[in-house]
Structure 1
Amino acid sequence: MVIGTGSLTASCVLVGPPVQAASCTNQTGPYQKQVEKFLGRPADSRQSAADCKAVQSFQSAHGITPASGFAGPLTWRTMDTILQQRAAGRTPNRAGKCPTDKGRIACLDLTRQLSWVQDGAKLVYGPVPVRTGRDGAETRTGTKKIHQRSISHWSTIYKVWMPYSRFFDGGQAFHSTTKSAPPGSGGCVNMRPADAKAYWNLLKNGDDVYAYGRKPGT
């Protein structure tokens, strides 16, 4: 039985507080048509005032700066990740990339910025959106194990609280966050509070973690 869904919606990429919109641009971006189509705007590849406001709103909600309404690479990359997350549906391991012969395992797809917990081939929780390491501080791939749990961890490096931390590769951990960190974390796997709490209850020391893929932009 799936005990958690972490349903993926139009704002399923993990985000933080909205950013303040910049002055609206009248420039047509290189991903104008794709962005217009994603937002349900007329896909005519021409920037309009209404297009700009729609793009600005999306950028602000997803921590993309400057939120000027320009349909650039980062905006489209974020939208494309959302589309891939939606396509995952209830079968995130359709391609069979996460091992099914290890029992309880936390799967982490860096490309789609998705994570889920499965037991063999059975989906237990998720898939849920996550935010992994930024360029130069990538979340490391491969087979790992949970080696430390700290329900209220304080990072001496970043000077922030990391609730529900489950460390799986040195200092890299799944943990809760409510702060914006575009374009990514310092290597940890940032999760929404409810998802991080669910992972805390599901993953014990010694449980497997498998990370694969490559975060867009790294």
Structure 2
Amino acid sequence: MRWLLASIAALSLAVPASPDAPAPAGPACRAGTAPYQRELERELRLTVDGRQSAADCAAIRRLQQRLGIRPADGSANLRTYRLVVADKIRRNPAERRACPARPYRITCVDLNRQVLWAQSGRGLVFGPVPVRSGRDGLETRRGWQRIYQKNRYHYSTIYHVPMPYAQFFNGGQALHGTRSDLFSSGSGGCVNLALGDARRLYDLLQKGDRLYLWGTKPGTGG
């Protein structure tokens, strides 16, 4: 009998905790105020004061976790803000109104918000994804454009850099992939995408496809 009672006690100690038990608290969120503090406070409907608080940091970190942003540290940086904007455009058709709706596929490049997507009518067929357009003095050309050349392995003889998945739409300006940071500086006029996004867009679009580009990249003259 003593042996049986001891066995029952051992088994009770081995029972896992209830799934309803609270999870251990994670590390404290310690990111300070960052350049896009007000913008993210506004997006998250927090008190808009431009100053990071513990509650702000936790809310931004939860948002980063939901969007798969790494590191999810609660920092209100440009990368987080751009990905939040892309997510908002994806979820809300009203955010896509600046791009004309046509019965055929259009690649929409919003230079104001530095975001690209493709749509047919008002239905999304690609993106939205963050991009990097031309820096001051080398701005990306606006208006209606058309893809006239595609080159999966293009190399720029002007800037001496690879331009993978290049899709040219105006002179030397193209949609193409880059390993550079999309959230700093600007391109030489091209519309840069993350490599995976550039590859998927390359596989989707065809020569002759239409693009519509509008707006002004922040910090440039036109």
The structure with more helix, counted as a fraction of residues: 2
Q: Which contiguous aligned blocks of 4+ residues in structure 1 show a shift greater than 4 angstroms?
A: 35-38, 42-48, 77-83
**TM-score, normalised via structure 2 length:** 0.63
**Matched residue, 1:34:** 38
Residue identity matched to 1:168: F
What's the Cα RMSD here?
Answer: 3.7
Q: Greater RCO between the two (CA within 8 Å, min separation 6)?
A: 1
TM-score (norm 1): 0.64
Are the equivalent residues in 2 in contact too, given 1:108–1:212 (CA < 8 A)? yes
SS at match of 1:94: helix
Does the 8 Å CA contact 1:90/1:127 hold for their aligned counterparts? Answer: no
Q: Does 1:198 align with 2:175?
A: no
When residues 183 and 92 of structure 1 are mapped into structure 2, their CA distance, relative to the original with a 3 A threshold, is farther
Structure 1 residues 1-54: Cα deviation after superposition (integer angstroms, max 9, x where no partner): xxxxxxxxxxxxxxxxxxxxxxxxx9x99x69638958x9x9876799xxxxxx
Identity among equivalent pairs (%): 45
SS of residue matched to 1:185 = coil
Partner Cα separation in structure 2 for residue 171 and residue 93 of structure 1: 32
Kindly indicate whether residue 210 of structure 2 is the aligned counterpart of residue 208 of structure 1.
yes
Whichever residue aligns with residue 143 of structure 2, its letter is G
Partner of residue 140, structure 1: 141
| Residue of structure 2 in register with 1:153 after alignment | 154
Gap regions ≥5 residues in structure 1: 1-25, 49-60, 62-68
Q: Does 1:184 align with 2:208?
A: no
**CA distance 1:198–1:32, shift in 2 (3 Å):** closer
Superposed displacement of residue 147, structure 1: 0.5
Q: Which stretches in structure 2 are left out of the alignment for 5+ residues?
A: 1-31, 54-68, 70-74
Q: 1:179 to 1:130 in 2, by over 3 A?
A: same
- When Rg is computed on C-alpha atoms for both structures, the one with the higher figure is 2
